Amino acid sequence: MNAVGLAVTLRIRMSAADAYQSNGTVSPARILALLADVTTELMIRLDGDEGSLRGLQQVEMLAPVFVGDYIEATGVITKIGNTTRQVALEARKVATYARGDDLALSAADALASPILVCRAVGTSVVPRAQQRRPRLVLAALGARRDATRLPQGSVLVTPPPSIVITPPRQTPPEVMIAASILGGGVTKNHTPHVPSTPEEAAREAKRCVESGASIVYLGIDDMAAQPESLSSRMSDTVAAIRAETTAVIVVSAIRPGSANPSSLLAFAGCGADIVTTPLGSFNFGDSVVETRRSVVREVATTLRDRNVPVMAEAYELGHFEEAMLLGRDKALASPLRFQFVFGVPGAMGAQELMVQFVSDRVPKSALWFAAGVGRHQRRVTETALRLGGHVRLGLADNIYLRRGVLAEGTATFIERSAAFAVSIGRQPVSPERARVLLGLVAEEIELREPDAPEIAEEPVSEAAEVAGVEPHPETPEGTAGDSD
């Protein structure tokens, strides 16, 4: 019987004894030991001998493991030689503690989509003299008539065996986190922690970048102000943030009322990296944001003609369709950048299925961010992170850290979201990397020049001095909710 495809799985919970860092992180060596145990069991089932694990190749540690995680380690025999056996190995996280300030210490989640934490290729050797060639036996479920004998199980055969037994990664390993520190009409009347001056905004932006954000999102806090006043204040705020951090700055002029092109273009010259464009009208609580289709197209076209990078802001599903048409007509330049806002009262809902629907519709070449308003913020952003999207969160979208407790700044939300992203294998990027992902700058490829020959401090002759080579010059390098 050809045993290629024989597979076994071990499942074990990581205990406090497995931790090697103060935050409860489990040593990678513990995971590799699990893979070694899987390989040993495969050798026992195939050869009746433990064999000798000679090496692990192509080892990838893809996500951290913490105390309390349930890890499922699987091995599949992919190649059998005279004495060597090759095994494809992987370890997945299938259950984990549900960490959060508003949760009990004992809260835990079984993961609907297990997280791949490690994979490798193992090579084991079983000398010919030790190959006993027993019947291939796998544990069976249920009672047996003869408890003194093991049943003969069936060999588990995967489709054409492959060294990599993990499906292609569905989510990108990097994530951009945007800090919405201003906007949504949120003022000091709602929370004392929201910035009200350019200097306060700059300090909060710096804290957010230090906590894991790469983008700072600025909206309108004073909904009654005139466009000229707003434009002047926004320019001062952008300049103050530039002086404190290298974060990508996104500004939005969307607010309730009837919009005209001049008001929506008021921020185009404030010095931000990206300006949002509206995609249509929508309910905004008891108010209405009225943006006619002709205005949408005029604003998008004007920004394109001025070479201003744009982010399309969608509050309804119909807005997505409009953005796709604008992209087709070249009114929106590539790459398309979407900001979906879920949970505004009267607009697009914040159910997980809605976020899933949006993620399925966005073209692979486009970038999409998700923001949840009020109590929906955490659920929406964590769902988007699992689905491969980027996220926006902060006091402009939600002022409560948990029910009844005001968040002491946007940086608190950023730190929590960044920790969650890391726990599922996604790494928050720096502002410099975000500029590349957003298409604001070209990705730099370092070209290494050959080292110039050294020139002696005291040349032996004039000819040797003339033959010296000069060194090569260096190349410059929405609304506030009531709870969360």
Say if residues 34 and 91 touch (Cβ distance below 8 Å): yes
Residue 35's pLDDT is: 95
pLDDT averaged per 10 residues in sequence order, the chain, 484 residues = 77 92 91 95 90 92 93 90 92 87 84 88 93 62 41 37 47 90 92 94 96 96 80 94 96 90 89 94 91 94 94 95 94 93 94 92 93 94 93 95 91 94 89 95 55 42 38 40 48
pLDDT at 159: 38
Q: What is the pLDDT of residue 403?
A: 87
pLDDT at 114: 87
- Residue 31 · residue 117 · CB < 8 Å: yes
Domain architecture of the chain: domains with CATH: 7-130 (3.10.129.10), 175-437 (3.20.20.70)
The pLDDT assigned to 105 comes to 82
Residue type, 414: I
Q: What's the pLDDT score for residue 98?
A: 83
Rounded distance, CA 218 to CA 234, Å?
8
Answering whether pTM is above 0.75, one says no
Distance between CA 414 and CA 378 in Å, rounded? 11
What secondary structure, in 3-state letters, does 288-337 show? EEECCHHHHHHHHHHHHHCCCCEEEEECCHHHHHHHHHHHHCCCCCCCCE
- Cα–Cα dist 105/24, whole Å: 14
